[in-house]
Every structure is written in C-alpha cells, then in structure tokens.
Structure 1
Amino acid sequence: MNQETPNFEEITRDEASARRYLLRFCWKNHQRFCPRCHSRRNYRLKNGRRRCARCRYTFHDFSSRWINNCNLTCVQWLHMIRLFQEEKTARTAAKELGVSYNTAYKAMTTIRFAILAHALDAKQLLGQNSVLGLHLNGRIFRGNDTAPVENPTPVFGIMDRGSWAFVDLLPGFDIETILHFSLNFQLKTVRLGNVIYTDRYQRYDTLICCVGNAPASDYFKTASTGLPIDKNNPGFWEFVSARLTKFHGVTPQRFPLYLKELELRYNSRHKDLFTILTSYLCDFVPEVE
C-alpha cells in the first residue's frame, strides 16, 4: 500500500487523529467488509461495532488484524511502531509509553509476527506443525515458548544478492544436519552465544540457527577466529552479525522472527520503514490451517 511519509506529530496529536491514520491502512476507500466471509453487506450496531448481514459475525474496525493485540491505544501503537523502527528495546518502549514490560514485549513480538507473515516463506513458518505455529492459534496471537515442538532448531540459509538479501527456511534441516556436515564434510562453523553459523553451503553464503538447549549444541565450540564471510563483507551479513550479539535469551522458536525482521530492515533500507510496518500491522492475521 503506497502511503506518504506521515507527519508524526500530526498523526499522534490525539486518539482520533491516530485512529484515522491507521484506518487508512485497514479499509480501502473506507469500504468495510466482514473479516470472516468478506461480504460487504453489514450494518452498524448501537455500540459502534458492525454485524455481517450474511454470516452474522460481529466485528469492529481492527477485528482479526495484528493491531488488535495488546490493548494499546492507537496513539500508543504509533509510538510503538516508531520505537521499533528505531530498534529500541522492549524495556525502553515500556518506559517511554508507560506500559508494562510484558505489554511492550508482546507488542514488539506482534510487529515481528506481522513482518514474518509477509515473508515469501510465511506459510512454512506459520503453519500448524511449524515452530511458530504454536504461537499463532487460528487468527489469535498467543505466546508459548515452553510448548514442545517437532523441529526446535530451524535452519535458515542466507543469500546476499547486492540490492536484496534472502533468508530462506531450509525444510528438513536442523542442528543435527549442521553437525553432520561439520563432522563428515568439514563444513566450518562458528558459535556466537546461542547462534551457530557456517561457511558457504551450496548457493547460500551461510547457514544459521539458534540452538538453545539442544544436546547437539555441546559439540559446537565458540571460535576464536571468524569465517571468510566475516571478513570484508559489507553487505547483509555485516548488517546481521552486528546485531547477533543483541539476541541474548532469544529462543529457537522466536529466532526466525528476528531473522525476518533483519531481512525486512535491510531490504527496506532505502524506503519508509514506518509506513511499511504500519501497513503490515494493520493487515489481517492469516488463517493458519
């Protein structure tokens, strides 16, 4: 959705201004339709909500959208988007907005989910049997890092093609796969905290994953020297590696959210990220089968 860069002070002047700005991203030409059956036949109720004349579903302007999480006001959401754009921490956001840390953390996680939902491999990442599928129940965002998952260490391949960078989920790969390549095919690896990345593999500049408490992680030692990708590589990897040390405490389940965030930030470095984030956040949460 093409939108001009907003005047931030103007759109956050009051709640009505903030709401008008956000609704521009929600309803094209102000035409409301049912989030469930997509019928345009609806009518307004006395409480301000709408009811679909076809399926009888009751909804409001932000129903089934990412922005409907966290119980933030429209003004607070716009400030949260700006803080996220500036790469502020959840703790900083909580202090500036006067909300709890848990609320700020959930809001930033919601933005990351919205980013991931627009990735090319979103269906693989958000499906019911995927790592992140445990956090998205239907169209309702839920956080649950303690639930068991079939593939706790998803592996991604990174490709830098100059103007664009790609972070691809590699189906069937996990930490044991990387360990096998390391032990039997001399694929060099580096461990940085809970993050492991490798030397070049096929078309990918590097493979990367977050290992958490996986048993195989004990076989990877922190390296004193980097790989060729760490030297004289001013592109996407330099952008990523500069931020890897900030990922303390990130679980394997949530690691893909951060990778997809970095992919978007890099590929949108010459665009208005605030507008992109707002449009993603105002989009519908995809229905996960």
Structure 2
Amino acid sequence: MKIRISYGTAIQMGLKRGRMLARPFTAYLMTYHDGRCRNNCAFCPQARESNADVKRLSRVTWPAFELEDVLDGLKRGNFARICLQTIDYPGMVEDVKELLKAFQPLNLPTSVSITPVPRETLVELKELGVDYIGVGLDASAERIYPIIKDSLYGWDDMWAFTRDVLEVFGPGSAFVHIIIGLGETDREALETIQRVYDMGGSVSLFAFTPIKGTRLESLSPPPLERYRRIQAAHYLIRNGLARVDELEFDGEELVGFNDLKEKVDPVAFMTHGCPGCNRPYYNEKPGKEPYNFPARPEKGEELLKKFL
C-alpha cells in the first residue's frame, strides 16, 4: 500500500534530503490514489478537471512511498501528531481505516481531514484513534461556495458534517478550513468564522495559493495586510474577546478593531490547527514573510504595529 507524504515530512523522516527553515512537528500524510479527486475545487491540484501535478497539494509536493517505509519514518521522525489528508475517490474510507490501523502501534494522536462521511464512519474513526477532524469548507461565503468548490457536497452538507463531528468527537474537535482570497468579503469570512466558534468548532486559516494547472491559477494571493487583519479578528473571536459586530467595517471591508486592538497577541499570526500543527510554508515560498508563522513571530510586536 502506498501513501503520500509532504516533502518536509519526508525530510524529517529521512526519506528525502533537503534543508528546512522550520521542521514540521506534525507528520503530514495523504491517501494515495492513482487518479484525481471526485470533487473539482477550483484551487486544488487534485481536482478532477485540474491539469496540475497530482503530487501537489497547495504549493507543497507530496511524493509517494510504500506504507512500510513511512511507518519506519514515523518512528524516526520525533513527531507530535499524524495528520492524514484525504482526496475523495471510491474506496477512500476503507483506505483511511486501513492506514489508521497501521498507525495504531505508534501511539501518536491522529487527525484526519476528510469529506463528509456518515456519522457511523465518524464513530469508527474515533475508535481507531482519531481525535480531530479537518472539515474542508474552504470557501467562506455561501454565494461563492458552489463556484469555488464544485463539489459533491453542498454548503449545508458541510455545516451538517461539522455538527456531526462535534457531536461525535466533542467541542473543539472540528477544525474548519477557511481559505482567504477566494472572492469572499472580510465580513463574510468573519461571520463564517464566528459561526464555527458559536457551534463549538475551531478554524484553520489558509491563504489562497495559485497553482499552475488549476482553474484559479491566474488569481492573486490575498494581500498580506488583509490577511493579517483577518488573523487578528480571528484571534479575538476564538478567544471570546470580540464578536464580529464589535469590529470596524467600511461596508464589507474590515478596517479596524475599535478599542480591542490592544488585546491581540502576536500568536494571532501563527498557524492555528490541531495540537502540534505548525504547517511550515504551506502557503508561501521560503524567504518571504509567511502568511502563517510556524512559531511565535520573533518581531511580533512590530507586526502588530505594522498591520493593526
């Protein structure tokens, strides 16, 4: 059985050679399929109509290895967690279960990012050691969701799945993925973020990354200034320090934080995901200021002054 792993994970395992500016604390793995995903997300190299390299997910390359080699690498890698990404294809759920059974002797906490599955399947995943589920909502506005996602699963399906995850795994167990820069407004993004936290879930923010061969290959990434403001607002919302209607908007654009700016900590600019997730350089090229820092920014106070 084959499985894909992110290039940084492969380096940490000793399966590839290379230099890392920040090592991954989580082992990022992906189901292997000799073909493309059944869904057609406009930003994704794995989409059924994409012409991008199937070894890509976002800007990261995911080489394939035999499962036995990866299991050995997991033992060597000193990881805090396994994060298993999935693409949607016939037999995917069975493959996920087989992989989880293979991971069990390692005693590593495991997250799975997966398209909506029945509640009974969620119970099985929990019994196999999964403690967090990634929910790929991605598009944070209902009006753009069917255009961007072109998926077997609609907007309402994703929210129902999020609710099922929370009921099976408990509060905070659903990490809803939201990509900034797909055509949503600031207000739409933050209202969706607020909805997730009101349900008891959590949000992982991503910046849109154009990949050659995808439908959105010509779209630009979001301005860093915009992304920083949304990160700061997300920090306030997830920590219960503010609600969307307490922030300053000019129409649909977030322009300020009233008297809440002083409550924002530089950790707002870090990757926010399952415990142990730092996801280095998933959205950006090394050498540039990252959208999501893999560790607390050394010049965090300067970032606060610059962007807020």
Q: TM-score normalized by structure 1?
A: 0.24
Q: Which is helix-richer, 1 or 2?
A: 1
Q: Which one has the largest radius of gyration?
A: 1
Q: Which is strand-richer, 1 or 2?
A: 2
Q: TM-score normalized by structure 2?
A: 0.23
